[in-house]
Chain A
Amino acid sequence: MERPIRVLVAKPGLDGHDRGAKVIARALREAGMEVIYTGLRQTPEQIVEAAIQEDVDVVALSILSGAHNTLFPKITKLLKERGVDDVLVIGGGVIPEEDIPFLKEHGIAEIFTPGTPTSAVIEYIKQHVKRAVEK
Chain B
Amino acid sequence: MNNLEELLVRGDKRAIARAITYAENYEEKAKEIIKKLYKRSGSAYIIGITGPPGVGKSTLTDKLVKNLIEKGNKIGVIAIDPTSPFTGGSILGDRIRMQDLSLHPNVYIRSMGTRGHLGGLSKGTYMATRILDIAGMDYVFIETVGVGQSEIDIVKIADTVVMVLAPGLGDDVQAIKAGIMEIGEIFVVNKSDREGSDKTVVELNMMLDLDDTKDWRPPVVKTIAYENKGINELIDKIFAHREYLIASGNLEKKRNQRLRMEIIETVKNKLMNNVFEKIQQKDFDFKLQEVIDKKIDPYTFADELYRDIFNKNL
Contact = CB atoms under 8 A, between A and B. Distances in A.
Interface stretch (A47-55, A58-66, A112-120): A47-55
B89 A31 contact: yes
A50 B25 contact: no
Given A4-B115, A32-B88, A52 B93 contact: no
A135 to B, nearest CB: 5
Given A55-B21, A82-B14, A50 B87 contact: no
Which among B21, B27, B89 has the greatest number of chain A C-beta atoms within 10 A? B89
Interface residues of B, number: 32
A37 interface: yes
Contact of B92 (A37, A42, A55): A37
A55 B108 CA distance: 12
Contact of B111 (A26, A36, A39, A82): A36
Contacts, number: 84
A46 to B, nearest CB: 5
User: Majority SS of interface residues in chain B?
Assistant: mixed
Contacts of B25: 3, 135
Interface in A1-51: 1, 3-4, 25-26, 28-39, 42, 45-46, 49-50
A25 B96 CA distance: 14
B232 interface: no
Contacts of A38: 95-96, 99
A42 B99 contact: yes
A53 B128 CA distance: 13
B77 to A, nearest CB: 10
A98 to B, nearest CB: 33
A126 to B, nearest CB: 13
Which among B16, B18, B92, B115 has the greatest number of chain A C-beta atoms within 10 A? B92
B89 A29 contact: yes
B90 interface: yes
Question: Could you say which interface size class chain A belongs to?
Answer: 20 to 34
Contact of A35 (B27, B90, B96, B103): B90
A52 B13 contact: yes
B108 A53 contact: yes
B102 A46 contact: yes
B95 A37 contact: yes
Contact of A46 (B20, B27, B99, B276): B99
A53 B89 CA distance: 19
Contact of A36 (B83, B95, B99, B115): B95
B296 interface: no
B92 A35 contact: yes
A32 B89 contact: yes
Interface in B46-100: 83-84, 87-93, 95-96, 99
Contacts of A29: 84, 87, 89-91
A36 B87 contact: no
Contacts of A39: 93, 95-96, 99
B108 A36 contact: no
Contacts of A35: 89-92
A58 B277 CA distance: 28
B86 to A, nearest CB: 9
B17 interface: yes
A36 B109 CA distance: 12
A85 B159 CA distance: 38
Given A34-B92, A34-B113, A37-B92, 10 more contacts: A4-B113, A26-B91, A29-B84, A29-B90, A35-B92, A36-B95, A39-B96, A52-B14, A52-B17, A54-B95
Going nearest first, the 5 A-B pairs with the smallest beta carbon separation are: A29-B89, A39-B96, A55-B17, A32-B88, A55-B21
7 contacts: A26-B91, A29-B89, A34-B92, A39-B96, A53-B13, A53-B108, A53-B110
